[in-house]
Amino acid sequence: MASSEIGLACALGGGGWDAEVTSIMERIRSADVGNRIQAAREIRRLTKTSPRHRRQLSGAVGPLVSMLQSDSLESGDAAILALLNLAVRDESNKIKIVEAGALDPLIHFLQSTNSSLQEYATAALLTLSASSINKPTISASDAIPLLVRILRDGNQQAKIDAVMALCNLSTIPENLIVILPLQPIPSLICLLKSCKKSSRTAERCSALLESLASFDEGRTALTAAEGGVLTVVQVLEEGSLRSREHAVGTLLTMCESDHCRYRELILKEGAIPGLLELTVQGTPKSQVKARSLLQLLRSSRHERAELHADALDSIVCNIVSNIDGDDQAGKAKKMLAEMVQNSMEQSLRHLQQRAFVRERERER
């Protein structure tokens, strides 16, 4: 039956769709491998965008999970893609897939040398880990170390799905203790450098970094990673509102944990312009965190030429007071933009000078 005919049968509530479902279910349970693969592909197609079809074909979960355990690469490929579509935006199917025993074969696929199969398995774990019911079961499996390895060595899409799956699992606090010794931070920084700072990928990377920065080992790893703190500062300046909230949270955690150790490092990477902008244009949480961090960064035994404490207080207080009124908002934002531009130019000159000095040192 053609796709248009199936859709028409559904719309009319006739028996055509019921017959199609019956046919698919018979084929997915068939002893013939070819029939099962064909049925799995039909399920994938029909459930791609239809919540109704996902519900009506949920009975195929068991047979599809059995196909995952087949030695046939083609069979496993068709089954995993069908299961992936069945699970999207369907909590019941997510739970049913895990309960049917899909985790063991999926974890096996995570270790596959076939990059496509590894990518599909990572995407499946991402979708399944979105369910709070599934998270403890996935956490108890061997999935986390393999996801961190894929974050390091997988193809680009697999890396993106791996970090999102890890972010889902990190909402269980105990999992952070499992993730941290696997040294994910250099890979997170590499992915964050390569993606658009306003993307959803950057949001998830930033969220996971903020969680890991709550541990001393995480903060140490972040500062040791090449361009680690600078990348967080770039997210602070260029990220989405949510990413910027995570970025300022990371920097604030660092500075609060050891002011002497991290203050100069954060300042040297040019965080001030992004923080000042965030005090006005960030989320409510970001604004509070940005002001707290600015207060910490201005506190020093030594006076800094770049930004005096009184000047910082004056700038922030002036902007915040002016932004309250509708008529003054435009002026306050313009004033902020000019101030940020000047500060960014100063920071850029500072960074360029520092890079020149490092280059000269390497030449010696």
Question: Phi/psi at 89 (nearest 5 deg)?
Answer: 55, 30
168 — pLDDT class (breaks 50, 70, 90): very high
- Domains of the chain, by residue range, sit at 29-182, 199-307
**CA 215 vs CA 210, 253, 364: distances in Å:** 10, 9, 38
Question: Phi/psi at 31 (nearest 5 deg)?
Answer: -75, -15
331 — pLDDT class (breaks 50, 70, 90): very low
Name the CATH superfamily housing domain 199-307.
Leucine-rich Repeat Variant (1.25.10.10)
Residue 45's CB: how many other CB atoms inside 10 A?
Answer: 16
Q: What pLDDT, on a 0 to 100 scale, did the predictor assign at position 1? A: 40
Q: What is the mean pLDDT of the chain?
A: 86
Asked if residue 309 has pLDDT above 70, the reply is no
Q: Kindly state the tokens that stand for 135.
A: 């998270």
Q: In this structure, is the dihedral angle defined by the CA atoms of residues 30, 35, 40 and 45, taken in order, positive or negative?
A: negative
Q: What pLDDT, on a 0 to 100 scale, did the predictor assign at position 71? A: 87
Per-residue model confidence as pLDDT tens digits over 208-242: 999 999 999 999 999 999 999 999 999 999 999 99
Q: Kindly state the tokens that stand for 178.
A: 């499992």
Per-residue model confidence as pLDDT tens digits over 135-146: 999 999 999 999
Q: Tell me whether domains 29-182 and 199-307 share a fold.
A: yes
**Residue scoring higher pLDDT (88 or 308):** 88
Q: What pLDDT, on a 0 to 100 scale, did the predictor assign at position 334? A: 52
Q: What pLDDT, on a 0 to 100 scale, did the predictor assign at position 341? A: 54
Of the candidates 131, 143, 280, 283, which has an alpha carbon nearest to the alpha carbon of residue 203? Answer: 283
Looking at domain 29-182, does it have CATH number 1.10.730.10?
no
Q: What pLDDT, on a 0 to 100 scale, did the predictor assign at position 4? A: 40
Q: What pLDDT, on a 0 to 100 scale, did the predictor assign at position 14? A: 47
**CA 158 vs CA 131, 145, 148: distances in Å:** 20, 14, 11
5 — pLDDT class (breaks 50, 70, 90): very low
